[in-house]
Structure 1
Amino acid sequence: MSDAITTVADISIEPVTDKRGRAAFVDLGRAFSARLENWVPQIRSEQLELIDPDKNPFFGHGRVQLFIAHRRGQPVGRISAHIDELALAMPADQGFGPGTGFFGYFDAEDAGVATALLASAEAWLAGEGMTRVLGPISLSIWEEPGLLVRGQDHPPMIMMGHHPAHYAGWIEAAGYARAKTLYTYDLDITRPFAPLIQRIVQSGHKNARITIRRVDKSRWDDEVAIILAILNDAWSDNWGFVPFTPEEVAYAGKKLRPIIHEELNMIAEVDGRPVAFMLTFPDVNDALARIRGKLFPFGWITMLRWLRHPKGAGMRVPLMGVLKELHNSRLASQLAFMMIEEIRQHAKGKFQSTRGELGWVLEDNQGMLAIADTIQSSINREYAIYERALA
């Protein structure tokens, strides 16, 4: 890994090598984001944690180099180049595989800066033996994948990126083509589902083999293990899948626990065996917007109250899964509709929520696309992941 400064015309690209550099990298991203309409300020310490090798377990199987672009001494852009050893081990026909590296955390002042940043990331990846680059993915596919190309007219929900529309043109001008499209779906949760879905749900409740139960926070570690076991099986054939490591499971469980409300998270069992799950997160961006991303001096009070009862917050379903053995079966769809309806009722009732969001959903995930269409949700955001071969 080189620490050399790369200079293109009047632009210098400098690698980040220490804690101070990581802080500058995060602050530069925050400055770019603050220019955007509908941006929601995030908590700075959490953004720092994601790129800290000592805190984010992604670094246990990932190699990362961050870069900052300067022009005449002023920071004008940033990018990450990274390699995920677990992604390298996946079959190539699932999107990643041998020779695939990534870029992420992409921000640029103009097209010239964008081109220079992408070239620096590509050069680093090529030097590490990569033959192909995908991005933006920051840093893991499970964190913030894709570039927002449609949906800038409203704020993002929890754990979803927000980017200006012109970035797409700069990336494409650098020789990148779209590899995959991800969607999020907006749902009016005050509206009852169609009679057909209601009959499917009622039929499921009459089936003694089926149990839809809440996640039990009193045995949180066990519940997380159940959910991740189903997830790693259910998603294992999906494009871009990378399995969670035990360290990532523990990390995610600790980070997510404060926003977990039992009424909004379900596990489906058949004959007493967990076979499906659905997670729903109240949109913490609702609270972050009120405190402008600052916990101190008094923002933590607002945040604590919100975490206890996120009244009126939007609800995001970031993950759901059904064991592969049930894929493409009527039972799988029935379990999904039962969990969605159970969560919808609690979100509308106890939390007085009016809207939900499903996603992200892969453009070719026919099962999820069919469910989203059947419950009359509509696409509200589109994200693109781009690719380019490295010479």
Structure 2
Amino acid sequence: MTPLTQKVLLAAERRTPELAAEIEIVPVAGKSDLNAFIDCAYRLNANDPNWVPPLRADMVELLTPGKNPFHDHARMQLFLAKRGGAVVGRISAHYDELALAQPPEQGMGPGTGNWGLMEATDDAVMAALIARAEQWLREEGMTRVLAPISLSVWEEPGLLVKGHDHPPMLLMGHHNAAYEGWVEAQGYAVAKRLYTYDLHNVRDGFPELVNRIVASGERSSKIKVRPVDTSRFAEEADIILDILNSAWSKNWGFVPFTEREKAYGGKKLKPLIQSGANMIAEVDGKPAAFMLAWPDINLKLKDFDGKLFPFNWAKLLWWLRKPDAVNWRVPLMGVVPEYQNSRLASQLAFMMIEYIRRYAVAEHGAQRAEVGWILEDNQGMVAIADAIESKINREYRIYQKDL
């Protein structure tokens, strides 16, 4: 067995003749292989009504060093699974130097590698792909796997195990329900559960207790909650990402953003930023917290089949001018460390989400929202989600295994 290929012979008595063929795992090398890697997801999910095809150009950018600054501090190898010459699966194996430098008690740390972006036609293909990803990680000196993470914890972490009956929102994964059993059969145990929370009807507002907390904050001369000023977008993005890096620094799975990643992320997300749906909270004139909300662009992308040209780009640009978005996602919020675990932190959170709700309903006809992901043991955020009477609608699992 070479370090770059692996062949798995399936037992004929347990498989149909087609599935009893040899599985070959080969490394992605060159543009043709990369296109096959990307195309694999479209083919294997074509019959899933709730899968949202990502833009192919975005996938190329994600996976290309020099375009995606994640690769400045990470190493990655992509693999294809082939049976009878046809592509039947894919997986990425990668590790992040910044993640290796994090404290082990926060989930990452020395020796921790990842795999992700996995797709497979059946359990044998999945087993062969995972085995090859593990082999590559061992060869790179990794001693432990956290997976799936595609490609970083800031993108699409975790395997969807609950919520297959509705489409995901932006930057949330969607997977074949069978993958849960196929992954766990390879000796993986749950490391963390990530939840998203559904606010089924945002038009009616929040419970009276939340309204009283918001009103109290509005009377305070210390607190100012304001929308992001899009005319100063770069400066505002720096404020938000600086708060994020400090607010999340003790969270499980945290990996800091580099300066290049800050600029890159701001540029990618700028078209989605509606000023009134993204808030910065100030205390005594200093930035203390932020909350972001994005219109559910996935509903628009669903019929594009991953392609912007020749006409879809115009449709998307027109929609982004003023999204008629009934669904919104609140993906991130953060409070500076000095106010965390305090009543003020909760008050700022309630004020920001109420202001976002008012704006999204009045300006865009919002009907529902999704908050998350939220770590299962993030007691502060879980308490806020409970207080606004949201319910868990999706569960993702990040698994771990020693190599």
TM-score tier after normalising by the smaller chain length = over 0.9
- Correspondence 1:300-319 to 2 at 5 A: 300-319=313-332
For the Cα contact (< 8 Å) 2:36–2:87, is it kept in 1? no
* C-alpha contact 1:87 1:96 (8 A) present in aligned 2: yes
In structure 2, C-alpha distance between the alignment counterparts of 1:199 and 1:229, rounded to whole Å: 30
Map of 1:285 onto structure 2: 298
Specify the code of the residue in structure 2 equivalent to 1:214: P
For 1:11, the equivalent position in structure 2 comes to 23
Secondary structure (helix, strand or coil) at the match of 1:291 reads coil
Paired position in structure 1 for 2:103: 91
Write the distance in 1 (CA, Å) between the matches of 2:171 and 2:236: 21
Q: Structure 2: how far apart are the matches of 1:304 and 1:42?
A: 16
> 2:396: which partner in 1?
383
Letter matched to residue 322 of structure 1: V
1:175 counterpart residue number: 187
Deviation at 1:372, TM superposition (A): 0.3
**Deviation by residue 1:191-248 (Cα, 9 ceiling, x = unmatched):** 2211111111011011011000111111111111100110011101110000000010
Q: Aligned partners of 1:291, 1:48: CA distance in 2, in Å?
A: 16
Aligned to 2:229: 216
Any stretches of 5+ residues in structure 2 without a counterpart?
10-21
1:124 and 2:136 correspond: yes
2:145, 2:325 → 1: CA distance? Answer: 41
Q: CA deviation at 1:4?
A: 2.6
Question: How many Å separate the matches in 2 of 1:70 and 1:91?
Answer: 38
CA contact (8 A) 1:94 1:238 kept: yes
Contact kept in structure 2, 1:291 and 1:302, CA below 8 Å = no
Letter in 1 for 2:374: V
Q: Structure 2: how far apart are the matches of 1:338 and 1:290?
A: 36
Structure 1: distance between partners of 2:214 and 2:124:
55
- Identify the match of residue 33 of structure 1 among 45, 48, 72: 45
Aligned counterpart for 2:341 among listed residues 305, 318, 328: 328
Q: CA deviation at 1:42?
A: 1.8
Could you tell me which residue of structure 1 aligns to residue 17 of structure 2? none
SS at match of 1:321: strand
Which residue in 1 is equivalent to 2:172?
A: 160
Q: Sequence identity of aligned pairs in percent?
A: 59
Answer with 300-309 or 237-246: which moved more: 300-309
Taking the aligned partners of 2:349 and 2:242, their CA distance within structure 1 comes to: 17
Q: Give the 5 Å matches for 1:345-364.
A: 345-364=358-377
**1:110 corresponding residue in structure 2:** 122
Q: Partner of 2:153 in structure 1?
A: 141
The equivalent residue for 2:309 is 296
Deviations 1:346-374 (A, max 9, x none): 00110001000000000000000000000
Equivalents in 2 of 1:221, 1:82: separation in Å? Answer: 30
Letter in 2 for 1:192: G
What is the CA–CA distance in structure 2 between the aligned matches of 1:148 and 1:175, rounded to whole Å? 18
Deviations 1:59-90 (A, max 9, x none): 00000000000011111110010010000000
User: Displacement, 1:300?
Assistant: 1.7
Match of 1:52 among 64, 68, 83: 64
Q: How does 1:256-275 map to 2 (within 5 A)?
A: 256-275=269-288
Count of residue correspondences: 389
- Shift, 1:302, TM fit: 1.6
Match of 2:209 in 1: 196
Partner of 1:66: 78
8 A Cα contact 1:3 1:15, kept in partner? no
SS in 2 for 1:350: helix
Q: Which amino acid aligns with 1:66?
A: L
Amino acid at match of 2:223: I
Does structure 1 retain, via aligned residues, the 8 Å contact 2:243–2:336?
A: yes
- Residue from 140, 143, 150 that aligns with 2:162: 150
The Cα shift of 1:3 comes to 6.4
**Could you say which residue in structure 2 is the equivalent of 1:255?**
268
8 Å Cα contact 1:16/1:67 also seen in 2: yes
Structure 1 stretches of 4+ with a deviation exceeding 3 A read 290-293
Unaligned runs of 5+ in 1: none
The Cα of 1:160 is off from its aligned counterpart by: 0.6
Aligned partner of residue 292 in structure 2, secondary structure: strand
TM-score relative to the length of structure 2: 0.95
